[in-house]
Structure 1
Amino acid sequence: MTPYSLAFYVDVVTTGTVLGVGPTDSPDRVSEVFGSDFGENTFGDHSMYRDYGLAEFFWDRGSAGHPWSGHHFTLQVHRLAYGGRTLANEALRARYGRFTPRLRFEKLQRLLQRRGVPLLEIPECPANAPYYRTFRQPESQVAVAVIGACGEYATPDKLRVGDVYSIQAPVNAVEVEWRRARVG
């Protein structure tokens, strides 16, 4: 058994879901799994996200009369290093136990490689390079952002180079090509 939260991150990267909830699921489906303890932010009638601490889910829609359409989810792993161990909501802790304050990328990558799940480096947006490096799992379309250099978030007392900053899905092939075009 993989200790603590490592199994959670392996599951997310492998499946492209969080506790079985995918990036395109409805707000009702997300609440069914994660509960009603969330912060909700809307931007006009067209965008909304719900913050469950570690996990955030995003939706958009054409107008107020249309249903919300799932856009993506992000795991804000870096928050755990800032005293946010309880940010892993009750549903996550019930399934995976306690969450450690840092996730080392090499540990995650090693566990995924053992399962035959590759992570391939993709270009980083110029504004984020060299402070972040991003790796993508092509089948699940999950991207893992890693601290790449010392900067605002890479400080010895909190996050270090090589710590996972966030995990997001989906990052599809179109976005990867867009990133390559911006870097190239």
Structure 2
Amino acid sequence: MDFFTDFVVTGAVGGADATCTPAEVTALLGGGFVENLTGPGQLLRCYDLVELAWQRDTAGDPWQGLYVTVQAHRLDAPLSVDGLCAALDRTGFPLVEVAPDGVGCRRLVRADSRVGVLADEATGQVLQMTAPAWFAPGPRGEPAPWSRNAGRDRVRHLAGLRAVPEREAWARRRQPEESDEAARWWWSLWVACRQRIPAEGERSAGLDRSAWQEAALWLLGKCETAGVLDRAEAVCEIARYGLLAPDAAVRACLEAIPVSRADVATRETTPYTEEHLVAVNASRAAKRLSLAAGPLLPRVGDPELRAEVRAWLDLRPRLM
């Protein structure tokens, strides 16, 4: 049980998480693994119950971590989800249950470590634990309040409104009054929008990329106001979808880091305990934001920005 609760709390196995390189994982977990390389672009490594995956665009690119999964269904004796929840409650790191997946599984998540747990609805057996999870608590874990086509039509209309007052007036007429419903509404608009942002030089729904970028930035701001995303998460989305120029996006990432490099919590200095949770989560935010900025560095002109991001990336293996 200690192994499983530690994974939920930390999102890592023996210090290895989804941000680690294959070489770092070998240094932490050893060479006792089975590896499967699918062409030049996908790598899967298995340590008994634990699987780690990476991807890259071409054979010359560095591997980018995708996930760490604990395949609990392989255990000889089933792991009870109720027992896991009780153990986590005692440590002060409870799981939150989100809507079931509709095919017989319960879904639970620890949002700060981004660990998701799947359990069999009928037997209560934990099947799988993954970080980062593809589902989330709150509005992000709920279905959209409209059909896919309706969401597409709404964001296409929004992207065509180039003036902010026009978007605000459109939203006032349609936004739900209840706060939780409003949060789900804004999140669903953002999801529909990010799926349609065209690549550089391309158009979507007859609109150029700049129109979609403006709408996307406005929607992310609304998601922050509604409490669906915090600032670090919103800035990571900005970097991921190229919504700002590289220098501006990297600057936003650095400004969103909630702690200095001198004061950031590390695995050597700070235990994963309830009383240190604020420091732990600040360290996690620093890791996510520096990793979001990293791919942009080749296109960043400001040498001070490049140096600061590289300094954070050097710290990355020690961050929580």
TM-score normalised to the size of structure 1? 0.72
Residues 97, 137 of structure 2: 8 Å contact kept: no
Structure 2 distance, partners of 1:177, 1:47, is: 31
Given candidates 133, 137, 152, the residue that maps to 1:171 is 133
In structure 1, the residue matched to 2:38 is 43
Counting strand residues as a fraction of each chain, which structure ranks higher? 1
- Residue 140 to residue 47, structure 1, CA distance change in 2 (3 Å): same
CA-to-aligned-CA distance 1:43-88 (integer Å, 9 cap, x gap): 221111101111000001111110101110110111112xxxxxxx
Structure 1 contact 147–163 (Cα < 8 Å) conserved: yes
| Deviation of 1:111 (Å) | 1.2
Cα offset for 1:119? 0.9
Q: Distance in 1 between matches of 2:93 and 2:134?
A: 17
**Residue 27 of structure 1: aligned partner:** 22
Out of 88, 91, 101, the residue aligned to residue 112 of structure 1 is: 88
Q: Is residue 2:115 matched to residue 1:139?
A: no
Structure possessing the higher radius of gyration over alpha carbons: 2
- Contact 2:117 2:129 survives alignment (8 Å): yes
Query: In structure 1, what is the Cα distance between the partners aligned to 2:113 and 2:39?
Result: 31
Match of 1:156 in 2: none
Tell me, yes or no, if the aligned pair for 2:18 and 2:132 is still in contact at 8 Å.
yes
Distance in structure 1 (CA, Å) of the matches to 2:42 and 2:109: 25
Cα 1:183–1:72 change in 2 (3 A) is farther
Partner of 1:58: 53
Partner Cα distance (1:19, 1:166) in 2:
18
- 1:180 Cα offset (Å): 2.6
Aligned to 1:181, the other structure's residue is in SS state coil
Per-residue CA distance 1:3-40 (angstroms, 9 max, x = gap):
xxx11111110111111111110101111122212111
**Which gives a bigger RCO, structure 1 or 2 (Cα 8 Å, sep 6+)?**
1
Where do 5+ consecutive residues of structure 2 fail to align? 147-320
- Give the CA deviation at 1:173: 6.4
Letter in 1 for 2:5: V
Q: Displacement of 1:137 after TM fit?
A: 0.3
Q: Which residue of 1 aligns with 2:174?
A: none
- How far off is 1:116 after superposition? 1.8
Task: Identify if the C-alpha distance between structure 1 residues 141 and 35 changes in structure 2 by more than 3 Å, giving closer, same or farther.
Answer: same
Q: 1:10 aligns with which of 5, 13, 22?
A: 5
- Runs of 4+, deviation exceeding 4 Å: 172-179
Task: For residue 177 of structure 1, report the CA deviation from its aligned partner.
Answer: 5.9
Instruction: In structure 1, give the amino acid aligned to 2:45.
Output: R
Residues of 2 paired with 1:177 and 1:29: CA distance? 35
Cα distance between partner residues in 1 of 2:128 and 2:138: 17
Q: Which residue of 2 aligns with 1:92?
A: none
Gaps of at least 5 residues in structure 1 are 1-5, 82-100, 150-160
Aligned residue number for residue 185 of structure 2? none
1:162 equivalent in structure 2: 124
1:28 aligns to what SS in structure 2?
helix
Partner of 1:96: none
For the residues of structure 2 that align with 1:123 and 1:182, how far apart are their CA atoms? 13
CA distance in 2, matches of 1:74, 1:39: 15
